[in-house]
């Protein structure tokens, strides 16, 4: 049975040089994004010879400093850079006109930063003769071309993909009923506005799973048992109170 590695040391974020830190003289009194309040009680008051400032006992992905060219006016840029990235993987083994419409609507109208999404259409070799014309139609009508993958076993393919991906989380879409466009926006707000941790989110029946959790579970080699791994991650998320139903 696979197990997760022991917890790593907590990452800390020093607010001292962040362009969004609000100072009264030499003392930090807040944050433009209100993250001091949002991260409480995981906040430390610190000081050095120059300033009094906060240290967050967590990763604040909005931290930016002037040395890298950022200013307090770069709010929209930072929100765009910090947005959650996704692997959205469509199970294309049993396509029909309705599912094709669903996929095309997502590809062409999701409204999310396209650099933050990998859209992948995957099906098995055995399904190719049945679905190839649907895949061709989707590809031709897509504004942003998806990745099309053909494999012997979809679940083994998923393990290999998630072992290497640089995206933050994934959804394996097989029921084609949930509005995953809304899901992506809600999850991004959950992580970046509410500053909560993502491990597993069940958004109206669609599972969004942290890819770092998947990699931790399979740290030596890709998984050959995707379904079992997801069950293990869900159990772990519930124990840690990091399983959220929306």
CATH number at residue 94: 3.90.550.10
* Tokens read off for 138: 């989707």
Q: Is the pLDDT reported for residue 100 higher than 70? A: yes
Phi/psi of residue 170, nearest 5 degrees: -140, 160
Residue 5 lies in a domain: no
Whether residue 163 is contained in a domain is answered as yes
* Model confidence at 225: pLDDT above 60: yes
| Per-residue tokens: 56 | 């967050």
Query: Which helix or strand (DSSP H or E) is residue 69 part of?
Result: none
How far is it, in rounded angstroms, from Cα 24 to Cα 202?
42
193 with 89, same domain: the answer is yes
How many structural domains does the chain have? Answer: 2
According to the model, what pLDDT value does residue 8 have?
47
* 222 and 142 within one domain: yes
Q: Do 225 and 192 belong to one domain?
A: yes
Specify if 4 maps to a domain. Answer: no
Do 58 and 175 lie in one domain? The reply is no
110 and 208 in a single domain? The answer is yes
Residues 240 and 130 in one domain: yes
Q: Are residues 21 and 131 in the same domain?
A: no
The span from the CA of 158 to the CA of 222, in Å, is 9
Alpha helices in 4-153 (DSSP H): 35-39, 75-82, 97-109, 128-141
Average pLDDT, the chain: 93
Token digits of residue 78: 């930072």
Q: Are β-strands 147-151 and 117-124 bridged in parallel, bridged antiparallel, or unpaired?
A: parallel
Q: What is the dihedral sign for C-alpha 194, 191, 106, 114?
A: positive
Do 182 and 61 have their domain in common? no
**pLDDT at 4 exceeding the cut of 80:** no
Show which of 32, 64, 81 is a domain's final residue: 81
**Rounded distance, CA 163 to CA 33, Å?**
33
- Assess if residue 6 is contained within a domain: no
Residue carrying the six token digits 């930072």: 78
Look at residues 81, 106, 132 and tell me which one is the last residue of a structural domain: 81
Does residue 137 belong to any structural domain of this protein? Answer: yes
Sign of CA dihedral 201, 117, 184, 198: positive
End of a domain among 81, 107, 127?
81
Helix (H, G, I), strand (E, B) or coil at 48: coil
The answer to whether residue 3 is domain-embedded is no
Predicted pLDDT of residue 187: 94
Same-domain check for residues 75 and 106: no
Q: Which of 42, 52, 40 is nearest to 12 (CA)?
A: 42
- Would you say residue 140 has pLDDT above 60? yes
Within 8 A by CB and 6+ apart from 120, the residues are 87, 88, 89, 90, 146, 147, 148, 149, 161
The residue range of the domain holding 159 is: 83-245
pLDDT digits (tens, 9 = 90+) for 47-93: 999 999 999 999 999 999 999 999 999 999 999 999 999 999 999 99
CA distances, 207 to each of 89, 132, 154, 202 (Å): 12, 27, 17, 5
* pLDDT over 80 (residue 7): no
What is the structure's pLDDT at 1? 47
Say whether both 68 and 171 belong to one domain: no
pTM of the predicted model, to two decimals?
A: 0.89
**Among 31-40, 77-86, 164-173, 190-199, whose mean pLDDT is lowest?**
190-199
What is residue 10's predicted lDDT score, i.e. its pLDDT?
A: 66
């Amino acid at each position: 049975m696979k197990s997760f590695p022991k917890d790593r040391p907590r990452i800390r974020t020093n607010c001292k040089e962040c362009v969004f830190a609000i100072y009264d003289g030499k003392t930090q009194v807040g944050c433009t994004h209100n993250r001091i309040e949002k991260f409480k009680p995981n906040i430390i008051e610190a000081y050095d010879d120059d300033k009094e400032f906060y240290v967050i006992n967590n990763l604040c992905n909005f931290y930016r400093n002037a040395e890298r060219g950022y200013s307090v006016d770069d709010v929209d840029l930072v929100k765009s850079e910090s947005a959650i990235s996704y692997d959205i993987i469509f199970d294309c083994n049993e396509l029909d006109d309705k599912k094709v419409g669903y996929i095309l609507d997502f590809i062409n109208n999701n409204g999310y930063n396209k650099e933050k999404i990998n859209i992948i259409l995957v099906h098995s070799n055995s399904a190719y003769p049945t679905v190839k014309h649907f895949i061709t139609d989707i590809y031709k009508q897509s504004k942003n071309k998806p990745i099309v993958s053909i494999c012997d076993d979809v679940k083994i393919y998923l393990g290999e993909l998630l072992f290497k991906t640089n995206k933050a989380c994934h959804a394996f879409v097989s029921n084609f009923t949930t509005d995953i466009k809304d899901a992506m926006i809600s999850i991004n707000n959950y992580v970046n506005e509410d500053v909560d941790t993502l491990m597993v989110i069940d958004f109206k029946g669609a599972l969004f799973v942290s890819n770092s959790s998947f990699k931790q579970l399979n740290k030596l080699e890709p998984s050959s048992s995707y379904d079992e791994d997801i069950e293990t991650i869900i159990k772990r998320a519930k124990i840690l109170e990091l399983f959220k139903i929306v």
